[in-house]
Structure 1
Amino acid sequence: MLKEAELILIRRKLHQIPELALAEYQTQKLLLAEISKLPQDYLEVRTVQELPTAIFVRVRGSNPEKTIGYRADMDALPVDEQLRSSFISQIDGQMHACGHDFHMTVALGVLSHLSEHQPRNNFVFFFQPGEESQNGGKLAYDAGLFSGDFRPDEFFALHVNPALPAGTIGCNAGTLFAGTTEVNVDFHGTSGHAAFPHQANDMIVAASQFITQAQTIVSRNVNPTEGGVLSFGKMTAGTIRNVIAGEVRLEGTIRGFTQPMIELIGHRLKEVAAGIAVSFNAEVNVTLNQGGYLPVVNDPHTTAAFISFMQNNSTIQFTQTKAAMTGEDFGYLLAQIPGTMFWLGVGPTSSLHSATFNPNEAALQKGVTAFTKFIENYEEINQ
């Protein structure tokens, strides 16, 4: 089994080669090299044309009744790292600012344990590309890559959490992460000279009214006990101060803890856009793209077993967590295959996706140990 010093070294190697969604070629090469060092008696390693940077590793069980899946995402973010260390990112403008280097390393640690201690059930490890922006989980599932011996009956995954102390396990029954939908809104009017506004159709004014009205959707259409988010982070409009803009583009996000809530917000957004189009005699087009970023809804059975074990094991620090508005494409896989996602504390450090995100490496061994202990117990109680 990989020792703590080895886990730290692997994590640092991965941290130096952060690659963006669906371009994780160096990352895949490093992972395959590490996997090849493990005992191969029970392992079957597979790469596929349909998702070239993905890795599937099947662990053959001794007396299998089911197949347990474990997913670790591989991609990084277009963030320029601001930390200074001996293992800083070697790729300009790219960084593992979401902790996927930790996710992969913990998965390798668990895999190394199972390669030496054959489990009773089969396992499938899915090293997944494209979580941050290309919904790699959905791509894999829709391509039929989880079939035959590589079809899990249950799926598990973790995400690092800077708000929890290093090594602390966090989880909750029900929704762990929100679902997310990208929103693009395009306004088409008529440009003109700023001195003659009556001869133009100002889309900056139309877009401003749209944004103001859109903010009433959450406050007046969403049940306050359920919660939802509608935020616009980007507006593109105009070319110069004395020309009225005839074109505007807004880009934003919808987030909700349930799929019906996300769909409600999207539906109301289109209705508001239709009203603005009439009011300003303009064309307003709303485009919604959710892809695979469904709410991460934990399965009652697997999650009850997970929480019970973590709570009752005195060697593991566990905390019940609340649902978070962050998004994760593991939600798509959990909508197809029951399972559980949980947090691994890596704090204290700055927030996820920040240029100074610096997770505590003491969490690596603790994460591996906690999950391998759970698996041993889980197989025992399910015999």
Structure 2
Amino acid sequence: MVWTTEELIRVRRALHAMPELALQEYETHRYLLNEISQLNQDWLTIRTVPEVPTAILVRLQGTHPTRTIGYRADMDALPIEEATGLPFSSRHAGVMHACGHDIHMTVGLGILAYFAEQQPKDNLIFFFQPAEEADFGGKHVYDLGVFSGEWRPDEFYGLHDNPQLPTGQIATRPGTLFAGTTEIHVTFTGKGGHAAFPQDSNDAIVAGAAFVSQVQTVVSRNVDPVQGGVVTLGTFQAGTAGNIIAETAHLDGTIRAFTQTNLVNMQQRVRTIAEAIGTMYGVQVDLELIQGGYMPVENDATLAQLMIDYFQADPTVAFADIAPAMTGEDFGFLLQQFPGVMFWLGVGDPDHPLHHAKMSPNEGALAAGVDAMVGFLNYRMEQ
């Protein structure tokens, strides 16, 4: 049977209080395993991954399987000091579930709890994934060959909470839902010196400033305006005093695009600009572009439309169409390997966006998410 709202809230609050950063989710791992161990085990198989020790997979044997369906819930939190003032606030200083992965895990457990009592027709695999916010844990597990043999899903599903949507509302679309992302890390190293003698130095700040200015042309002059993209530089660290020419300048940023083709092209433009600035200003360039598993989240058109048709026909589900977002998500890597769908689940906190220290999801979304996905999976298994 489906967990009650009270049971879902109990689990969510326990998880919210124990946030842990990527690949450090040991307390969360133990808690999830304990909850899973209390479910009916008749058709469950639990698997851990020694190389990624906080990952958990659970396989449910179907009664008359024609396919294996995967469901993913991410586990890690963010390096943010919580400011909600809630009685179940984070017990870990400087770490918070500010992206709602406590919601994701709870909904995943709720769906699993239902099918632990009501054996599914098809095989199901639940993947509790570490390291979504950093270090692309889904790719790590995939690269280890974990999703093979009886553990290979034919299709994969997952959700992301959205505080800007009404509580319990579900939204998705065929095609791209989230952008692919690439981290930018660049250091310009010149020759420091006295501010009074610039001719004897190679100013890293001037080179860094030129880089900031020039990368603004990547989107405006290299990307189809209809398709869009983002290049943002969020940090610029250089210099020690106003009368000293800086020897080094370090900048960090992000590239985002809705297609992998555009993302690769934008990466190349950023690289070309950095190298050209190195030549122009006589500085050494150390550029690192990291995409890892943060591919565009591209929903399978057929499966997404099947989900949309089901939710639109279900009077108990509040469904909405939605435009793609520049949000990044490493579920995009898994959707490059397996057809599947990611969808938004509204959690009704419009004043506090994702990654905000005061974000407080409405817990009424928990049961709505579980009920909607249980209904869809049962429908899917009859297709």
The answer on whether the counterparts of 2:349 and 2:359 sit within 8 Å (CA) in structure 1 is no
Match of 1:309 in 2: 310
Amino acid at match of 1:233: G
Q: Deviations over 1:174-222 (max 9, x none)?
A: 0000000001111111100111111111110111111111101111111
**What is the correspondence of 1:25-174 to structure 2 with a 5 Å cutoff?**
25-174=26-175
**What is the correspondence of 1:337-356 to structure 2 with a 5 Å cutoff?**
337-349=338-350, 350-356=352-358
Query: Quick one: distance in 1 between partners of 2:263 and 2:361?
Result: 31
- Cα deviation for residue 364 of structure 1 reads 0.1
SS of aligned partner of 1:124: strand
In the alignment, structure 2 segments of 5+ residues that lack a partner are none
Match of 1:250 in 2: 251
Query: Quick one: distance in 2 between partners of 1:18 and 1:51?
Result: 18
**Larger mean Cα displacement after TM superposition, 3-12 or 300-309:** 300-309
RMSD: 0.8
Amino acid at match of 2:23: L
Query: Quick one: distance in 1 between partners of 2:274 and 2:9?
Result: 51
Q: Deviations over 1:111-146 (max 9, x none)?
A: 011011111100000000011001000000001111
- Cα deviation for residue 284 of structure 1 reads 2.1
Query: Quick one: distance in 2 between partners of 1:376 and 1:280?
Result: 62
Q: Deviations over 1:313-345 (max 9, x none)?
A: 111000011110010000000000110000000
Query: Quick one: distance in 2 between partners of 1:17 and 1:28?
Result: 10
Query: Quick one: distance in 2 between partners of 1:157 and 1:197?
Result: 55
Match of 1:24 in 2: 25
Query: Quick one: distance in 2 between partners of 1:372 and 1:212?
Result: 50
Amino acid at match of 2:374: T
- Cα deviation for residue 274 of structure 1 reads 2.3
Q: Deviations over 1:92-116 (max 9, x none)?
A: 0000000000000000110011011
Amino acid at match of 1:371: M
Amino acid at match of 2:285: V
Query: Quick one: distance in 1 between partners of 2:79 and 2:279?
Result: 39
**What is the correspondence of 1:251-330 to structure 2 with a 5 Å cutoff?**
251-330=252-331
SS of aligned partner of 2:73: strand
Q: Deviations over 1:27-47 (max 9, x none)?
A: 011111111111111111111
Match of 1:185 in 2: 186
- Cα deviation for residue 280 of structure 1 reads 1.1
- Cα deviation for residue 275 of structure 1 reads 2.0
SS of aligned partner of 1:206: helix
- Cα deviation for residue 253 of structure 1 reads 0.4
Q: Deviations over 1:48-98 (max 9, x none)?
A: 202101110001100001100000000000100001121011000000000
Amino acid at match of 1:123: L
Percent identity between the aligned chains?
Answer: 52
Query: Quick one: distance in 2 between partners of 1:321 and 1:311?
Result: 14
Query: Quick one: distance in 2 between partners of 1:43 and 1:301?
Result: 29
Report the TM-score when normalising by structure 1: 0.98
- Alignment size in residue pairs: 381
Amino acid at match of 1:373: G
Q: Does 1:207 align with 2:183?
A: no
SS of aligned partner of 2:107: helix
Match of 2:363 in 1: 361
Q: Deviations over 1:294-318 (max 9, x none)?
A: 0000011211111110111111000
In the alignment, structure 1 segments of 5+ residues that lack a partner are none
- Cα deviation for residue 348 of structure 1 reads 2.5
- Cα deviation for residue 269 of structure 1 reads 1.1
